[in-house]
Structures are given as C-alpha cells and as structure tokens.
C-alpha cells in the first residue's frame, strides 16, 4: 500500500471493525483479569521492521485490535485499584469516539465553533457541579498536571505583576524566587508544574505538622508573615496515599489575611463537592484563586482530561495569550479562543466526552457514583478493621483505603518487606491491581476505588486474592 488517498473507501470499514471488537471486549471486562501476563507475547506483534510499503488499513487495524484486546492492561475494568484511575462511562466513551470521528481543531472559535461552544457549556456545568462561582475563568487541559500548570502559571503572572513585572513576556530574570508554601500533601504534579514554570521543582516550602503531612497552619501563618511581598499557597483536596484533605477553608483564611494566592489541587478530591455527606471536605474551595481537577479520574471520561478554574479570568489571557501572530485571532476577538487560556495550542475537542457523560447521568448520577465508591471504601475499611492480621493505617475519608498486613510477632522491617511482596504478587497475579506506598514510614497497600463499574464483588475479590497471597507467604 502507499498513499492513504487510495484507501479512503476503507475509513468507515476500519471504524466498523473497531465497533465489532468493542462489544465482546467491553462485555469481558467484568470477568477478565486486569492484566493477563500470559498474553504479553502478543506485544512482539507490534515490533517489526518499519515497512517500506504499508500493510494496508484493514490488516493494520485487525493487528492492533488483536494485540490490544489481549495484551493491554484493562484499567478501564472494575478491578483496577492502582494509582487513582477511573474508567470510561458508556456515554463518555461514545463521546470520545465522536471526538476522533469529527477531529475538530478545538483551540479557536474560527476553526470549530462546535468544539468551542461544547467546551464553554461543559466548563459552566463543571463549575455548577463543584460549587464554584460562575464568574471564574476556566479551560480544559489534558490532565491535572496541565491544570496545575495553568493555575500556577496564573499565580506566577499575578505574583510578577505585584513586583511590577510581566513574567509571561519577560521571564523571571531579576525577580526574587516566588514563595510557594504547602503542607506535606503537595502532589508531584504541582512540583512538576513549578519545575516547568521555572520556579523550581523543590521550591515549595513544606510546613507539615506530623509525619503524615498534615499542614501546620500556625507555622504557615508565621511564614507568610515573614515574607516580604506576595506568596502562593497550595492546598490539596485529596491526598493520594490515604485520601486525606488539607483544611481548605482555614488556608483560604490565611491567604486572605496575608494577601496570598490560594491554589487548590483537587485532582480527585474536588468530587467530594458532589455529595452532601462529603462536601465538608472541600469547604472553602470557592474562595480559592485557582482550582484544578481531573476528568479521567472520578468523572470517568477517557484519558486525557483535566480542568482548571481561575478566579480572575483576565489572568488566563495574560498568562497564555497575546502571541502577536498575524494569522491568529487578536486579543480583542469577541469569541473565546481556548488555546489562549491554557498551555496547549493544538487541542482536540476534549469537551465532547465530558458533555456526553454529564448530560447522560446528570448531577444525581455522578453523586450516586461518588457515594457508592465511598460506601465500597468504607466496606473494605471495615473488613480490614475486623481482621486480626490487617491494620487500617488511616481513616477512610473518601475512596482510598490505606492498610497493611500485620500478623502478630513480626518486626517492622520484616513487615515492610512482607507488604511489598504482597503488592508485587498482586500485580503478578493480575486478577486485581493495587499498588503499595510508604505511609507513616511503613509500607502499605492503598487500593483506590474510582471506576464506575466497580461493585461489592470486585472489592470482595481484592480481599480474597490478598488472602490467597498471604496463605502462600514465605516463612
């Protein structure tokens, strides 16, 4: 084969091939292991010399489906408890396929009024869902890391302007280091954003009250009082090891008292706002200067999806727009151009799966999902607490359960090695996936329940597999 022009009649047939594979694959997710290591040999089918002449559309699509449905890690299924990962609801998945089908240039109104209007609509819906003021500026991003980059770039621009500088135009040269303060829950994505922004990955001053990382508010108050000029505070709504929260309302008080910028990283924890029984965890988020979250976590839309919200919308344009390129819309364009409000210029229409899932299931459906996952986490936490040889290391706050195997008469060092072994065996087994972490200085398991498909039977299987592994533990 050569020029794809000669296979244009295969375009619909190729999509039909994927659609035919979708039914059996999606129908198998409830029963198949998260990863079947016996299928890893299929990966070799991806690797061959680069073809001089192509193999053709249909042969290539069939090869990709054969390898992917067999050898992929089935993280969109109900038993992937590793990291913090959702799946793709039926509506979101169809919305994502539609995104690929239409292949919109989503950054400018001129190139796609459809994609732009869809993004404007879903950002409004998301602000309503999370209880954020409708006046906030907002933009969709590929991830929480990019969302943090967006919010912290606006904070950097705000900070520079208070020093009489336009850092977007002129950079940071000649300015002092931007003070960034946080508790011990600061996530690597915020550090990465600070790294990219030239502020320094390790620039944040961590003010923790204990080994867990809870913020020391008194120390933060003193530190802010000692800083000559404005500062940035980062609060976390949802800590990844045990699901704990920074006291956002109290940190907003500090920000107001000291004239600081408050950035809230709510990658998954912001979804606590959906539930009356959990919303207290994010009390005060509506007072933040920038707020971020992730769609491919608890919203259960496909990768890649993040959200950034900024109190002063004009800061977004000052941080990311005004390129001065004659072929692009000017800053006074009456239409919104989202590539001038965030870090991306080339953008797919990532609003479509978000629009689809929000419209399909509404506020009530997403609230029920959040509360169902919280109930499942509480169920797992209760199993741990009732067992003589398991130890719950932190209260279940949201949907992460942090615990370890702790049989009597075993020393701490051996316990760490034993729990690391259990974690490795879980991944090798493949039926369920749950990773390990270090929490309060010890090695722990931390299954996270965020997939829309997950039910009690999946959580019970996790416990059962852990019990099987423990039964064959090395003596």
* 360 or 324, greater pLDDT: 360
Mean pLDDT of 56-82: 96
For residue 1, pLDDT over 70 is answered with no
Packing angle of the helix pair 351-386, 456-471 (nearest 10 deg): 50
pLDDT digits 0-9 by tens, 203-251: 999 999 999 999 999 999 999 999 999 999 999 999 999 999 999 999 9
Q: What is the pLDDT of residue 207?
A: 98
CA distance 260 to 368: 36
Q: What is the pLDDT of residue 475?
A: 64
pLDDT digits 0-9 by tens, 120-166: 999 999 999 999 999 999 999 999 999 999 999 999 999 999 999 99
**453, two tokens:** 């498909």
* Ranges assigned E (strand) in 128-231: 137-141, 180-182, 205-206
Mean pLDDT of 4-31: 95
* 325 or 269, greater pLDDT: 269
Mean pLDDT of 39-59: 93
Q: What is the pLDDT of residue 298?
A: 97
- Reading phi first (left if > 0) and then psi (alpha if -120 to 50, else beta), residue 455 is in beta
Nearest alpha-carbon partner for 232 in 157, 341, 343: 157
**89, two tokens:** 């609801």
- What are the sequence ranges of the domains in the chain? 8-72, 95-358, 363-471
For residue 457, pLDDT over 70 is answered with yes
Domain 363-471 has CATH 3.90.1150.170: yes
Average pLDDT taken over every residue of the chain = 95
Nearest alpha-carbon partner for 192 in 277, 82, 292, 118: 292
For domain 95-358, give the fold.
Answer: 3.40.640
Helix then strand count (H, E) for the chain reads 13, 11
What 3-state DSSP class applies to 206?
strand
Q: What is the pLDDT of residue 329?
A: 81
For residue 181, pLDDT over 80 is answered with yes
CA distance 243 to 38: 34
Q: What is the pLDDT of residue 324?
A: 72
Percent of the chain surpassing pLDDT 90: 93
For residue 334, pLDDT over 90 is answered with no
Q: What is the pLDDT of residue 270?
A: 98
Q: What is the pLDDT of residue 69?
A: 96
Q: What is the pLDDT of residue 194?
A: 97
| Under 8 Å between Cβ of 171 and 198 | yes
For residue 399, pLDDT over 80 is answered with yes
């Amino acid at each position: 084969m050569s020029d794809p022009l000669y296979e244009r009649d295969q375009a619909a047939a190729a999509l039909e091939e994927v659609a035919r594979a979708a039914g059996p694959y999606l129908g198998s997710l409830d029963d198949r292991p998260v990863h079947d290591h016996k299928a890893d040999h299929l990966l070799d089918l991806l690797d061959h010399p680069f073809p001089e002449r192509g193999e053709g559309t249909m042969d290539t699509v069939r090869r990709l489906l054969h390898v992917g449905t067999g050898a992929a890690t089935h993280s969109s299924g109900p038993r992937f408890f590793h990291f913090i990962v959702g799946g793709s609801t039926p509506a979101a998945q169809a919305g994502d396929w539609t995104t690929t089908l239409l292949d919109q240039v989503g950054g400018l109104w001129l190139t796609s009024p459809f994609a732009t209007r869809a993004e404007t609509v879903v950002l409004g819906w998301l602000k309503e869902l999370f209880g954020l003021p409708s006046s906030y500026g907002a933009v969709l991003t590929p991830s929480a890391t990019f969302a943090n980059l967006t919010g912290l770039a606006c904070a950097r621009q705000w900070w520079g302007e208070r020093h009489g500088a336009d850092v977007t135009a002129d950079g940071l040269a000649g300015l002092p280091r931007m003070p960034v303060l946080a508790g011990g829950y600061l996530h690597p994505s915020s550090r990465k954003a600070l790294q990219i922004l030239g502020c320094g990955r390790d620039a944040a001053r961590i003010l923790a009250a204990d080994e867990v990382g809870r913020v020391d508010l008194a120390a933060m108050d003193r530190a802010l009082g000692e800083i000559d000029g404005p500062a940035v505070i980062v609060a976390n709504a949802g800590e990844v090891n045990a699901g704990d929260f920074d006291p956002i309302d109290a940190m907003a008080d500090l920000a107001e008292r000291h004239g600081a910028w408050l950035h809230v990283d709510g990658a998954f924890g912001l979804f606590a706002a959906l539930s009356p029984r959990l919303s207290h965890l994010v009390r005060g988020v509506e007072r933040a200067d920038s707020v971020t979250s992730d769609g491919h976590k608890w919203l259960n839309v496909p990768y890649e999806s993040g959200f950034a919200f900024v109190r002063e919308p004009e800061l977004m344009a000052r941080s990311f727009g005004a390129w001065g390129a004659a072929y692009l819309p000017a800053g006074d364009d009456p239409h919104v151009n989202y590539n001038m409000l965030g870090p991306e210029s080339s953008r797919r229409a990532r609003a479509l799966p978000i629009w689809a899932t929000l419209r399909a299931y509404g506020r009530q459906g997403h609230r029920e999902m959040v509360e169902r996952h919280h109930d499942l986490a509480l169920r797992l936490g209760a199993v741990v607490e009732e067992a003589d040889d398991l130890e719950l290391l932190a209260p279940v706050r949201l949907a992460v359960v942090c615990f370890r195997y702790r049989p009597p008469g075993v020393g701490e060092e051996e316990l760490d090695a034993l729990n690391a072994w259990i974690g490795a065996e879980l991944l090798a087994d493949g039926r369920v996936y749950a990773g390990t972490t270090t929490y309060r200085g010890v090695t722990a398991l931390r299954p996270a329940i965020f997939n829309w498909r997950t039910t009690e039977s999946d959580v019970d299987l996790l416990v059962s597999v852990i019990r099987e592994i423990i039964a064959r533990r090395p003596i």
